Amino acid sequence: MRKIIILIPVYNDWESLKKLLFEIDETINDLKDISFNCIVINDASSIIQPKISKPANIKSLKILNMYKNKGHARCNAFGIRYVIKNEDFDNLILMDGDGEDRPVEIKSLVEKIDSDPNKSVVARRVKRSEGPFFQLLYKLHKIITFSFTGKNINFGNYSCLTRRDVEILSTKASLWSSYSGTVKKNLKNLNEVNSIRGLRYFGPSQMSIFKLLIHSFSIIAVFKYQVFFRSLLAIIFFGYTSNHYPFISHLIQVQICIFNLIIFIISIRENEKELLKSCTNLKDRNIITH
């Protein structure tokens, strides 16, 4: 029987988690030949955890409580390290706990992994739920990412990984800063399923403009050497055009240099030492039996 772990980071959003677990339980009800286990990472929530019940179709439910809040990306990094060291599984599904990763799409991920068991699957965003301004910024992020890295990164955290790929990712320093960037860089053969980003169960989106910028730069920073090389080519090109368009050419060159400086600073977030010792932030484990 295939064993799948669902990994869900949570910070204070307990009501969303309860609804998410209920909808996961409904979705996997038809998947009888798979053993589903759920691990929730409580990222040092400031709101007291309410009573959480284990759904009937989830074999085990564990809540891992952190000492210090490290943020969403580092919760996922810790979780990947934790499961490869402590759990028996065939596949790992990563998903957000607020409803934006729709539980109904677990079936699509599982069907794709069943048809090609040796390749991990990512949920490719084909439709988003945010407002037009945020969607415009997201499209701009994708264009800039592709221009400087040559990579089309059209997925977020929602994915289903093979155990082999979990092991590969678990040692990469960039995982401490960007999950999707690390996946794209280190996993060469990926399958995709279409995914529609859902609406948050409760409250407004937690993704601010500032967080979107950090998220975007963190992805690009995973490919910093490609960025530096392409930027150098661009600076040389605009150097040749400076005789005809001196102001515009020099302005673009300065902007490229500033962009590279930002990418270098953001790349400092990639920390192999912190990743490898992330288990020291684990405070305790709570196993929910009913």
So where are the chain's domains?
2-204+272-288, 224-265
Question: What is the model's pLDDT at position 199?
Answer: 84
What value does the mean pLDDT take over residues 56-62? 95
Q: How many CA atoms lie within 13 A of 228 on its CB side?
A: 10
8 Å CB contact between 283 and 66: yes
Question: What is the model's pLDDT at position 132?
Answer: 75
Q: Which two tokens stand for residue 91?
A: 């596949």
Q: Kindly report which listed range (98-112, 126-140, 266-280) carries the lowest average pLDDT score.
A: 126-140
Question: Which among 198, 214, 66 has a CA at the least distance from the CA of 137?
Answer: 214
Query: Could you tell me the pLDDT band of residue 244, with boundaries at 50, 70 and 90?
Result: confident
Q: Kindly report which listed range (63-77, 108-122, 174-188, 245-259) carries the lowest average pLDDT score.
A: 245-259
**Burial classification of residue 244, based on how many CB atoms lie within 10 Å of its CB (0-12 exposed, 13-18 middle, 19 or more buried):** exposed
What value does the mean pLDDT take over residues 253-261? 95
Question: Which among 289, 281, 153 has a CA at the least distance from the CA of 217?
Answer: 153
E-strand ranges in 11-74 read 34-42, 60-66
Query: Could you tell me the pLDDT band of residue 127, with boundaries at 50, 70 and 90?
Result: low
The pLDDT tens digits of the residues spanning 178-231 come to: 999 999 999 988 999 999 888 888 876 666 677 778 888 999 999 999 999 999
CA angle 279, 284, 289 (to 5 degrees): 125
Query: Could you tell me the pLDDT band of residue 128, with boundaries at 50, 70 and 90?
Result: low
Per-chain mean pLDDT for the chain: 92
Element at 7 (helix H, strand E): strand 2-10
Question: What is the model's pLDDT at position 241?
Answer: 83
Q: Kindly report which listed range (87-91, 142-146, 157-161, 278-282) carries the lowest average pLDDT score.
A: 142-146
Question: What is the model's pLDDT at position 242?
Answer: 76
What value does the mean pLDDT take over residues 34-39? 96
| CATH code for residues 2-204+272-288 | 3.90.550.10
- Written as one letter, the residue type at 220 is I
Q: CA–CA separation, 252 vs 239, rounded Å?
A: 10
Question: What is the model's pLDDT at position 129?
Answer: 59
Q: Which two tokens stand for residue 152?
A: 């089309």
**Between the CA of residue 152 and those of 76, 175, 287, what are the distances in Å?**
22, 18, 39
Identify the DSSP state of 55. Answer: P
